[in-house]
Amino acid sequence: MLIPVLDLGEVFAVSSLGSLAASAFFAAIALISIGFLMGMISLGCGVIRDSLATALENLELSRGVLDVENLTVLSDNRSVEARILNCGADPIRVGEFDKMDVILVYRSSAGFVKAIWLPYNPDMDLSYGWRPLNITYEGSEELLNPVSPDMSSGLWDPGECLAIRAWVADEIRGAVKLIVAAPSGVSSP
């Protein structure tokens, strides 16, 4: 019985040219794939970066600001009244007014610049503090989430003005600034 013998030298000689062509083909496919993948990653990073930038801008806009308007020193020289506009901040519950920070910066009768944190004091039974007077929308009574007359319920919504009175024990002389911060972190500039 004869067994056919295959000369492996001839097989590998022909096949090495084929494998060289196949290797070149696969290398070209791999390079094209890697280039495509790198382009997609680069594009994806740009899209993600742009999306994050837009999200941060929207967060800042949604956060809003509290704008102190019409700050007036009253005739007793110990009190001020101000209107604070909620510019785009989320609604603030009247029940959270006691968590707000109100700081009055003024020049005292002794000539010193003082900055004093004022506690929420609707009963006005302390020598210094602040209390809400009313909430209006463009000078008229508010319609959205109205606040009760005794300021026990309701919301201070975006676009509405909160009128407050703040007082200190010293006489107020000179420049006055009011800084207000809500529990959410929204504050006056």
Q: pLDDT, tens digit, for every residue of 43-75?
A: 777 777 887 777 776 665 556 789 999 899 999
Nearest Cα neighbor of 171 from 82, 81, 109 is 109
The mean of the pLDDT values for the chain is 84
Report pLDDT for 3.
65
Number of domains into which the chain is organized: 2
Residues 41 and 86 in one domain: no
Model pTM?
Answer: 0.66
In whole angstroms, how far apart are CA 80 and each of 17, 30, 41, 148, 161?
A: 94, 74, 58, 23, 16
3-state SS, residue 125:
coil
Cα–Cα distance between 63 and 33 in angstroms, integer? 44
Residues 127 and 143 in one domain: yes
Q: Structural domain of residue 76, as residue ranges?
A: 64-181
DSSP state of 123: T
Q: Structure tokens of 148? A: 């009760």
Residues 59 and 73 in one domain: no
pLDDT of 137-186, one tens digit each?
988 888 888 888 888 899 999 999 999 999 999 999 877 899 999 988 78
Residues 16 and 85 in one domain: no
